[in-house]
Amino acid sequence: MAVRTIEVRERVMSRNNEIAADVRSRLAAHDVTAFNLVSSPGSGKTTLLERTLAALGEDLGIAVMTGDVQTQNDADRLAAHTTRIVSAVVTNGACHLDALQVRSALDNVDLESTRILFIENVGNLVCPASWDLGEKEMIALFAVTEGEDKPLKYPKMFRNAKHVVMTKTDLLPHVPFDMDRAVANALSINPALGVFRVSATSGEGMEEWFDFLRTSARRVVAP
Amino acid sequence: MHEMSIALEIARIAEEKLGDAASGLVGVAVEVGDSAGVEPSSLEFCLEAVFSTPPFAGAQPYIQRCGGDVLRVAWLEIEDGS
């Protein structure tokens, strides 16, 4: 019996990344800007999307893909706010979405009439950071009910994100959350991070978020 | 938490490289960077499980720590049937 070694040097994520590149080119061909929303469970991804769909869903041609371990409850909640397409992906136990699931779900989305696609990832600050889905950018949500040191505990997510949305700011008077320290922690991991401060419940700060989305939608249709 | 998905992807890569020779696999080396977001001992545990089920017949995982966000299969060791 002879033992021999085969050099491989292949990146483990290479297949996922190839599929993500395919998703990216399909989206680009239709001028669709995709955002991958990530956060802990309960940080307000679905509520932020509910308000966003109600305000801008029709104007900006927003489509949503929701990832959940079980149930399509989030997709059902969002569908109540829009006639636009909400596509549910149930991961059946997996802790993240991968590019293959997104590419398959893309078949249910009318890309012609879509300008912004939100991919609501599984609530989890660890695993989704490793899977490129073909999005333009990852956006992390960070609720004021969480610890200010969350970016330090989960650096990869905050390093990969381009924006962080501080959510539930209406609760600030009731919780011992130090907003400045939380934002400083996020920026210490990723100094280029853009920061929004919103309350989807009171509407505070939402206009700035909406403006960002309007600009994102415009940018892709410009020649 | 996602180490099992990664172990399964590593198994897929090994199967793709080895084809019918997969049952002869005796060692798998995986480079894991410090900021790859992967827990090495958890990955090792998952690899042991994955590589003890067909078409594999029990291959030893070797985790090689390195810097950055590297996550790749370095080499495969197979025992030739001859």
Q: What is the pLDDT of residues A60-100, one digit of tens each?
A: 999 999 998 888 888 888 888 877 778 888 888 888 999 99
Domain spans, chain B = 3-78
What's the average model confidence in pLDDT over B47-58? 96
| pLDDT band at residue B57 using 50, 70 and 90 as cut-offs | very high
- Count the Cβ atoms, other than its own, within 10 Å of residue A2: 8
Interface test with A, best of B5, B17, B77 (most A CBs within 10 A): B5
Instruction: Let me know how long chain B is.
Output: 82
Domain spans, chain A = 14-218
Give percent above pLDDT 70 in chain A: 97
Q: Is B68 on the interface with A (CB under 8 A)?
A: no
- The minimal CB distance from B9 to the residues A2, A7, A12 is found for A12
Tell me how close the Cα of A127 comes to any Cα of chain B, in angstroms: 6
What's the average model confidence in pLDDT over A127-145? 95
Q: Residues 143..162 of A with a Cβ closer than 8 Å to B: which? A: 155-156, 159
- Whole-complex ipTM: 0.86
* Alpha-carbon gap, residue A143 to A135, rounded angstroms: 23
- The minimal CB distance from A9 to the residues B9, B26, B74 is found for B74
pLDDT of residue A222: 45
Give percent above pLDDT 90 in chain A: 79
What's the average model confidence in pLDDT over A190-210? 98
**Does the distance separating the beta carbons of A13 and B9 come in below 8 Å?**
yes
* Alpha-carbon gap, residue A181 to A135, rounded angstroms: 29
Instruction: Look up residue B49 and give its two tokens.
Output: 């499980």
Alpha carbon distances (Å) from A47 to A40, A120, A143: 14, 11, 12
Q: Is B6 on the interface with A (CB under 8 A)?
A: yes
**Does the distance separating the beta carbons of A12 and B72 come in below 8 Å?**
yes
- CATH fold, domain B3-78, is hypothetical protein PF0899 fold (3.30.2320)
What's the average model confidence in pLDDT over B3-20? 95
pLDDT digits (tens, 9 = 90+) for A15-49: 999 999 999 999 999 999 999 999 999 999 999 99
Tell me how close the Cα of B48 comes to any Cα of chain A, in angstroms: 17
**Does the distance separating the beta carbons of B6 and A12 come in below 8 Å?**
yes
| pLDDT band at residue B41 using 50, 70 and 90 as cut-offs | very high
The CA angle A62-A197-A82, to the nearest 5 degrees, is 20
Q: Is A101 on the interface with B (CB under 8 A)?
A: no
| pLDDT band at residue A219 using 50, 70 and 90 as cut-offs | low
pLDDT of residue B1: 67
pLDDT of residue A92: 81
* Alpha-carbon gap, residue A173 to A214, rounded angstroms: 30
In CATH, the architecture of A14-218 is 3-Layer(aba) Sandwich (3.40)
Q: Is A176 on the interface with B (CB under 8 A)?
A: no
pLDDT above 80 for A4? yes
Tell me how close the Cα of B41 comes to any Cα of chain A, in angstroms: 16
pLDDT of residue A220: 52
Q: Specify whether the CB–CB gap between A68 and A223 falls below 8 A.
A: no
Closest CA to A62 of A79, A77, A76: A79
pLDDT above 90 for A191? yes
- Interface size, chain A vs chain B, as Cβ–Cβ contacts under 8 Å: 84
Tell me how close the Cα of A130 comes to any Cα of chain B, in angstroms: 7
